[in-house]
């Protein structure tokens, strides 16, 4: 199903484009409000910029659809009601964006074309850092600061004069000759160090801050408490928000207490300008008492702003600034290029929201440099030891990042257990300076180690061989797919390890497993810590009173922690007791409803590695109940193949058919295989003779009928079969499952009991597009209940396609193959629902 918002611009119909432009206008207006008014964005700048690019691309294809309220015609957001409004004498605009080096060349060519300059005529363009703060217009009359306004919507800003007067970098009087009117523009920002200190003071409650709006913060705390989260402190997400939030205070004495700074780089109305070029004017600003990009950072190195004569020079300066980015001590999000000559600037003029003579070259991916302070090991549901780098906090894409995933032992070491270097592996050590990258909402990755900054005497990281939670041995197993030691280390204690037990429990009650509503993380942690729940079966033995005590003790503990952390007294909640009682009744009720459950959910809930929902469904079609499954697995375990067989059959890229062919083959096993399969086999076993030898070994250790039946008849493959055997081979797993049955949990067989007369029995159905009357899960369950097989892709074997609006390639394939296609309503008619 392709939603309109996921469709490439080129595939949009005109009406879809109109819909999409409307969505983008509304969505971006909301982001603008959060970003400019509340100083609290909910998406990263990169995500926001992607929306803007999509909007422009659609408008480029359908210029007739450009909306009055299009984001391409607007700057910022209209001023909030918090301050008096101030109309700008000269509009404050935004900047057009460049994202690649080629875009810079395009910009220079465009400028030349519009100025009618030959290719070899000199053209000076300045390049300087784009400071990530908020812009401010300072109006000086006869050298005296008379007003200060934020950008607002470009035409009207907010009057923050009293606040601006508290910023030390902003002169109240200009040095030098008096100019009747001069508006100086620049960026208000906060350094990293000041930002961290401010947030720390806010967290301790020692910073001067506006009282929270009535009820506002109390609610948040309450919610955080329900969710068992850390106390919600009123801190800023990044230095830009901190700068904007601190400047836009109703009480200027709060602004005064905030460490704000100011860089001057532009101007508005001016009765006369102190120069004929961008460079000269900015130089003059320096003499008048402002900090500018033309000043050297340390009095020795070259200034950050450079006047360039070629595109190559511009791009080189961009990369030089990019390299310095981590050491500046404040956030910059790109480099701004400006045509230097002011007469040329005038000739070029403006488009609706930005000048034609300037462009902002944004830094590409969301990268930053920081230091690995420590390496933590988390233990997950399956016992995996997952390493996490604790980083000195940095802002990446508008979010402060303080940890990054390190994947596994080999990744940190940079080589596998045999000493072979692995792709992407790095030899990451505590104390290392690293480049990290954040993509979307996923946890950041370490992209690179800056070896020049590695502290002297640093040693490779020693990965623990014991579980940091329970102290049991943690081991690396042989991976049948690669024949090598697995890169992950696993705690051997199983569910008796508290970390694994707790995570397993979360999975057990989750939506696609037992789906016990109201059993959130707070509950699980509370019950685990109180010793009330150790394994899933315990859930079904819970009683009201002990449950209530455990939950209340937990709440008390969280509240105490919060009080300590915030240093403030929170109102006691009187109504809480009765509420907890009600919640617990509801929970017990929800548990009761799950004493009988679909077999596939039961199997999925066990959290067996490689047994996802689909495999669990397949098993539930094959077995009547849990004891039957266990018996089937036990029988299969007795007729297991040798490791050689398992390894060969599970090799990536070798399907069932090819494997059968391979096992039959004699001296030329590679014959008749596809190129990628030959490559995979050779990579694993060397030359053809090596493959032949592996095949011979595999042939000797063939599995018996019981194993093949489980693998083949239930359609789950070798890897899942071996995983099942492995799971039920462990005493504690068998016991945990038995305990559930003993606690009275019974299963319903999902195997469709379909009479031969169901018109769908044995048919293969594909659902595509957006379904309106049922969810995907429901559709699938319905079809399977009628004896049909649901598939994710359309092929010649497909009997029927049910297509909703927005169906894409699957629908096209179905039509091309002549497969019957019906809509959702027709589907409901046919099934008689």
Ligand X SMILES: NC(=O)c1ccc[n+]([C@@H]2O[C@H](COP(=O)([O-])OP(=O)(O)OC[C@H]3O[C@@H](n4cnc5c(N)ncnc54)[C@H](O)[C@@H]3O)[C@@H](O)[C@H]2O)c1
Known binding-site residues equal 45-49, 94-95, 128, 151, 187, 338, 362, 467, 470, 497
Q: Summarize as ranges the residues that interact with Zn ion (CB under 5 A).
A: 467, 469-470, 472, 491, 493, 497
Structure tokens at 773: 């009357």
**Binding positions for ligand X, 280-339, rule CB under 6 A:** 333, 336
Please report, to the nearest 10 degrees, the dihedral formed by the alpha carbons of residues 492, 495, 500, 505 taken in order: 160
Query: Which is nearer to ligand X, 291 or 492 (by Cβ)?
Result: 291
Using CB under 6 A, pick the residue from 135, 166, 255, 714 that binds ligand X.
135
Which of ligand X, Zn ion, none does residue 48 bind (CB under 5 to 8 Å by kind)?
A: ligand X
Residue 146 — φ and ψ, nearest 5°? -110, -30
Q: Is 754 in the site for ligand X (CB under 6 A)?
A: no
Part in contact with ligand X (CB under 6 A); list of ranges 128-136, 164-172, 321-329, 518-526: 128-136
Buried b (16+ CB within 10 A) or exposed e, 765-781: bbbbbebeebeeeebbb
Using CB under 6 A, pick the residue from 17, 21, 25, 32 that binds ligand X.
32
Which of Zn ion, ligand X, none does residue 128 bind (CB under 5 to 8 Å by kind)?
A: ligand X
Query: Which is nearer to ligand X, 32 or 340 (by Cβ)?
Result: 32
Using CB under 6 A, pick the residue from 39, 48, 160, 804 that binds ligand X.
48
Contact flags string 167-206 toward ligand X, x per CB under 6 A = --------------------x-------------------
Residue 101 — φ and ψ, nearest 5°? -60, -35
Which of ligand X, Zn ion, none does residue 497 bind (CB under 5 to 8 Å by kind)?
A: Zn ion
Using CB under 6 A, pick the residue from 25, 31, 139, 728 that binds ligand X.
31
Is residue 720 within 8 Å of residue 618, measured between CB atoms? no
Phi-psi region of 190 (alpha: psi -120 to 50; beta: other; left: phi over 0): beta
* Minimum CB–partner distance for residue 465 and Zn ion (Å): 12
Distance CA 39, CA 58 (A): 29
* Minimum CB–partner distance for residue 384 and Zn ion (Å): 10
Distance CA 431, CA 169 (A): 35
* Minimum CB–partner distance for residue 146 and ligand X (Å): 21
Residue 72 — φ and ψ, nearest 5°? -75, -10
Which among 7, 82, 116, 130 is annotated as catalytic? 130
Q: Is 95 in the site for ligand X (CB under 6 A)?
A: yes
Query: By C-alpha distance, which of 285, 270, 295 is closest to 170?
Result: 285
Which of Zn ion, ligand X, none does residue 469 bind (CB under 5 to 8 Å by kind)?
A: Zn ion
Query: Which is nearer to ligand X, 71 or 480 (by Cβ)?
Result: 71
* Minimum CB–partner distance for residue 135 and ligand X (Å): 3
Query: Which is nearer to ligand X, 95 or 750 (by Cβ)?
Result: 95
Is residue 137 within 8 Å of residue 92, measured between CB atoms? yes
Distance CA 564, CA 566 (A): 6
* Minimum CB–partner distance for residue 307 and ligand X (Å): 14
Would you tell me how many other CB atoms lie within 10 Å of the CB of residue 789?
A: 19
Q: Is 356 in the site for ligand X (CB under 6 A)?
A: no
**Binding positions for ligand X, 244-273, rule CB under 6 A:** 265-266
Task: Please give the DSSP secondary-structure letter assigned to residue 354.
Answer: S
Sign of the Cα pseudo-torsion (200, 205, 211, 216, in order): positive
Structure tokens at 342: 């002011």
C-alpha count within 13 angstroms, C-beta hemisphere, residue 79? 20
Q: Is 396 in the site for ligand X (CB under 6 A)?
A: no
Q: Please report, for residues 42, 215, 223, 325, 444, the alpha-carbon distance to residue 395 in angstroms, rounded to integers and kept in the order given.
A: 15, 30, 27, 11, 12
Which of ligand X, Zn ion, none does residue 398 bind (CB under 5 to 8 Å by kind)?
A: ligand X
Distance CA 160, CA 119 (A): 46
Q: Is 368 in the site for ligand X (CB under 6 A)?
A: no
* Minimum CB–partner distance for residue 55 and ligand X (Å): 13
Query: Which is nearer to ligand X, 34 or 112 (by Cβ)?
Result: 34
130 is catalytic: yes
What is the size of the binding site for ligand X (CB under 6 A)?
26
* Residue tagged 């315990």 (tokens): 538
Q: Is 128 in the site for ligand X (CB under 6 A)?
A: yes
* Minimum CB–partner distance for residue 788 and ligand X (Å): 45
Distance of CA 91 to the CA centre of its chain: 36
* Minimum CB–partner distance for residue 541 and Zn ion (Å): 24
Query: Which is nearer to ligand X, 394 or 526 (by Cβ)?
Result: 394
Please write down the HEC assignment for all residues of 501-570: HHHHHHHHHCCCCCCCCCCCHHHHHHHHHCCCCCCHHHHCCCCHHHHHHHHHHHHHHHHHHHHHHHCCCC
* Residues with active-site annotation: 130
What is the binding site for ligand X (CB under 6 A)?
Answer: 31-32, 34-35, 41, 43, 45, 48-49, 75-76, 94-95, 97, 128, 130-131, 135, 151, 187, 265-266, 333, 336, 360, 398
């Amino acid at each position: 199903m392709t939603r309109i918002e996921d469709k490439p611009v080129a595939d949009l119909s005109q009406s879809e484009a109109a819909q999409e432009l409307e969505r983008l206008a509304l969505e971006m207006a909301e982001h603008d409000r959060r970003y400019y008014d509340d100083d609290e964005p909910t998406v990263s700048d990169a995500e926001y910029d992607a929306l803007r690019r999509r909007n422009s691309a659609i408008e480029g294809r359908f210029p007739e659809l450009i909306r009055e309220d299009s984001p391409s015609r607007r700057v910022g957001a209209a001023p909030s009601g918090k301050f008096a409004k101030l109309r700008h004498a000269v509009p404050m605009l935004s900047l057009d964006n460049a994202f690649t080096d080629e875009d810079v060349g395009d910009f220079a060519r465009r400028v030349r074309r519009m100025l009618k300059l030959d290719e070899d005529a000199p053209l000076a363009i300045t390049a300087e850092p784009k400071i990530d703060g908020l812009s401010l217009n300072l109006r000086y009359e006869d050298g005296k600061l008379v007003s200060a306004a934020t950008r607002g919507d470009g035409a009207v800003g907010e009057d923050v004069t009293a606040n601006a007067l508290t910023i030390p970098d902003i002169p109240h009087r200009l040095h030098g000759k008096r100019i009747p009117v001069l508006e100086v523009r620049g960026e208000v920002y906060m350094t990293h160090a000041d930002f961290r200190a401010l947030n720390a003071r806010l967290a301790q409650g020692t910073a001067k801050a506006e009282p929270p709006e009535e009820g506002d913060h109390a609610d948040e705390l309450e919610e955080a408490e329900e969710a068992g989260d850390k106390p919600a402190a009123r801190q800023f997400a990044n230095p830009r928000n901190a700068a904007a939030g601190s400047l836009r205070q109703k009480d200027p004495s709060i602004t005064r207490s905030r460490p704000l700074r100011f860089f001057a780089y532009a101007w508005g109305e001016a009765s006369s300008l102190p120069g004929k070029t961008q460079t000269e004017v900015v130089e003059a600003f320096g003499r008048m008492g402002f900090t500018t990009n033309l000043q050297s950072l340390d009095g020795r190195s070259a200034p950050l702003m450079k006047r360039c004569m070629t595109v190559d020079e511009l791009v080189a300066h961009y990369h030089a600034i990019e390299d310095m980015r981590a050491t500046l001590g404040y956030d910059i999000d790109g480099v701004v290029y400006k045509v230097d000559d002011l007469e040329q600037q005038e000739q070029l003029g403006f488009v609706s929201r930005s000048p034609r003579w300037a462009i902002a070259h944004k830094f590409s991916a969301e990268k930053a440099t920081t230091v690995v302070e420590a390496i933590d090991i988390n233990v997950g549901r399956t016992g995996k030891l997952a390493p996490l780098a604790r980083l000195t906090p940095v802002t990446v894409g508008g979010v402060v990042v303080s940890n990054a995933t390190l994947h596994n032992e080999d990744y940190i070491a940079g080589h596998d257990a045999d000493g072979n270097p692995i792709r992407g592996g790095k030899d990451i050590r505590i104390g290392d300076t690293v480049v990290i990258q954040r993509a979307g909402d996923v946890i950041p990755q370490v992209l690179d180690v800056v070896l020049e900054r590695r502290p002297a005497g640093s040693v490779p990281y020693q990965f623990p061989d014991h579980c940091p939670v329970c102290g049991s041995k943690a081991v690396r197993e042989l991976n049948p797919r690669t024949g090598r030691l697995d890169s992950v280390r696993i705690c051997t204690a199983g569910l008796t390890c508290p970390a694994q037990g707790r995570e397993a429990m979360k999975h057990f009650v989750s939506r696609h497993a037992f789906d016990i509503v109201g059993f959130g993380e707070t509950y699980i942690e509370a019950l685990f810590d109180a010793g009330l729940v150790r394994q899933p079966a315990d859930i079904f033995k819970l009683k009201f009173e002990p449950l209530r005590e455990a939950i209340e003790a937990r709440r008390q503990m969280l509240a105490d922690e919060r009080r300590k952390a915030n240093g403030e007294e929170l109102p006691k909640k009187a109504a809480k007791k009765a509420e907890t009682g009600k919640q617990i009744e509801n929970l017990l009720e929800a548990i009761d409803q799950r004493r009988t459950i679909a077999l596939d959910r039961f199997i999925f809930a066990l959290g067996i590695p490689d047994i996802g929902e689909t495999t669990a469904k397949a098993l539930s079609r094959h077995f009547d109940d849990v004891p039957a499954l266990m018996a089937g697995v036990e029988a299969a375990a007795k007729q297991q193949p040798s490791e050689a067989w398992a390894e060969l059959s599970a090799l990536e890229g070798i399907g069932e058919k090819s494997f059968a062919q391979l096992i039959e083959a004699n001296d030329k096993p590679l014959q008749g295989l596809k190129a990628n399969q030959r490559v995979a086999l050779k990579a694993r076993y060397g030359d053809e003779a090596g493959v032949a030898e592996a095949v011979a070994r595999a042939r000797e250790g063939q599995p018996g009928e019981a194993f093949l039946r489980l693998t083949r008849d239930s359609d789950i493959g070798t890897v899942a079969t071996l995983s099942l055997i492995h799971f039920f081979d462990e005493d504690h797993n068998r016991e945990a499952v038995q305990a559930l049955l003993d606690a009275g949990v019974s299963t319903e067989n999902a195997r469709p009991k379909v009479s031969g007369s169901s018109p769908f029995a044995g048919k293969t159905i594909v659902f595509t597009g957006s379904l309106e009357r049922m969810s995907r899960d429901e559709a699938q369950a319905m079809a399977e209940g009628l004896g049909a097989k649901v598939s994710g892709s359309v092929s010649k074997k497909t009997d029927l396609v049910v297509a909703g609006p927005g169906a894409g390639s699957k629908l096209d394939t179905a039509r091309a193959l002549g497969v019957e296609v019906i809509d959702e309503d027709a589907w409901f008619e046919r099934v008689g629902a």
